[in-house]
Structure formats: C-alpha cells, structure tokens
Amino acid sequence: MSMRRLKWEIQRQLARPDFKAVIPYFEALPGRKAVNPLLSLLLHPDERIRWHAVSAFGVVTAALADSDMESARIVMRRLMWHLNDESGGIGWGVPEAMGESLARHPGLADEFSKILLSYILPGGNFLEHEALQCGVLWGLRRLAGSRPNHLAGSGSSLMPFLKSAVPLQRGLAAAIIGCIGHPEAGVLLNGLMDDCSPVRIYCRCQIQRRTVAALAASALEKLEHSSG
C-alpha cells in the first residue's frame, strides 16, 4: 500500500466516532510506516480526528515497543525533537502523543516519563507556550491515570498550575493530583470548588465537557478515599 493510501485509510478509521472499535486495526499496522501519517494527522482541522490520532499513536507505538523496543525509542526521541526549538515547529499534539504512548506501555513509561514531566519544570525543558503546557498536562494526566507510580512525588511541580489563569491547566492539574496525591493540595483544590469555568477534555476516547470545579471535586474525592 502506498503511503498516500495508508494515510487516507488511517484518517478514515480515525473519523469513526467510536475509536475503541478500531483499536485492533491500529494494533495490526506496521508501526514504522504508520508513525508519519499519524504525526501529520495530529494537526488535522477536525478535533475528533486529532484526538483519535493521539490515541492511535499510542496504540501503534506500544505495539511497536512490544516487538522492537529500539524502534519505539526512536519514535519517542522523534517526538522529543519536535518539542525542541531546533525543530522549527511548535509540536502541536506531540506531548499528548507522548503521554498516550507512555500510558500504554510500561517499558516506555520507565524510560520517558521523567522527560515528559520535565516539559513543565522551570529547571527542566519547560515549554513556554500555554497550549503546549496544556498538552503536557494532558499527557501527564493520561499517564497518571494508568501508571500513577511513574509520577509519584511530582505533586509539588503541579501545584502552580492549580492557580493558573488558564482553566484547562487548572482542571488537568487537579485531575493529575487526584491520581497521584499530594499532601498540600487540599486547600487549593477546595478553592476550585466554585470554579465553573468550562473545559473540554479528551477522556476514554471521547471529548467531554467538564468544569474545573467538577475535576477538583473528583480529585478531592480520590484523595480522601486514598487517605481513608
């Protein structure tokens, strides 16, 4: 199959409303051939296709890691390059694709979770662009939901985002802390209980409409459950 035909077929699958139904299709794709089309589709104008491309990228990369870990490492390093100033681009969708890949494969999480976290650390590889920061936080939320131990002890790095002027950053930071815990987060999370700012979050392969307050309440409930 030509690359043009492969991209067309991948895009057709990504356009389906229920991504979970086509996961087997992406698991069976030749990983090294599917990476380029999926990277380009992270920039698609249709929001659903973009997010499904994130999910598909994680499926493909995890399957590749199962069969050829070194090739999967090369894919992850390529994502890192796209977030480097020297790439000449901005890296839309790249932190999300990285987080999805780490959430789906323990070996990749072992090797690259600290790198993903470094993109929100002022002393690390901090990304200045607010939208990219949201992408990193989404990736960390995805990782925290599947492998919270890989982010253990990072709660203090997320605390500033609970006070961000960007509602999505506040909501995502709350969701991450709810998964990994942090002893000093309770006061700030309680302060968000009246924050009715709407946010759109991709979760379980669906775009969901939530509020910061709802995400903070869920985080508090998880923290109370874990401490009880």
Residues 114 and 210 placed together within one structural domain of the fold: no
| pLDDT tens track for 189-200 | 999 999 999 999
- Whether the CB-CB separation of 73 and 64 falls below 8 Å is answered with no
Residue 228's pLDDT is 58
| pLDDT tens track for 42-63 | 999 999 999 999 999 999 999 9
Residues 119 and 201 placed together within one structural domain of the fold: no
Dump strand ranges (E) for the chain.
Answer: 198-203, 206-211
| pLDDT tens track for 71-106 | 999 999 999 999 997 766 789 999 999 999 999 999
Residue 152 in this model has a pLDDT that exceeds 90: yes
Which residue, 151, 182, 199, sits at the end of a domain?
A: 151
Residues 101 and 73 placed together within one structural domain of the fold: yes
Residues 11 and 120 placed together within one structural domain of the fold: yes
Residues 84 and 43 placed together within one structural domain of the fold: yes
Residues 120 and 43 placed together within one structural domain of the fold: yes
Nearest to 52 by CA among 37, 36, 38, 63: 38
Residue 2 in this model has a pLDDT that exceeds 90: no
This prediction has a pTM of: 0.96
Report how many domains make up the chain. 2
Residue ranges making up the domain that contains 39 = 1-151
Mean pLDDT of 169-176: 98
Mean pLDDT of 107-127: 97
Residue 86's pLDDT is 73
Backbone angles phi, psi at 208, to 5 degrees: -115, 145
Residue 149 in this model has a pLDDT that exceeds 70: yes
Residues 178 and 224 placed together within one structural domain of the fold: yes
CATH number at residue 165: 1.25.10.10
Which residue, 93, 127, 151, sits at the end of a domain?
A: 151
Residues 122 and 214 placed together within one structural domain of the fold: no
Which residue, 97, 122, 151, sits at the end of a domain?
A: 151
Residues 144 and 174 placed together within one structural domain of the fold: no
Residue 167 in this model has a pLDDT that exceeds 90: yes
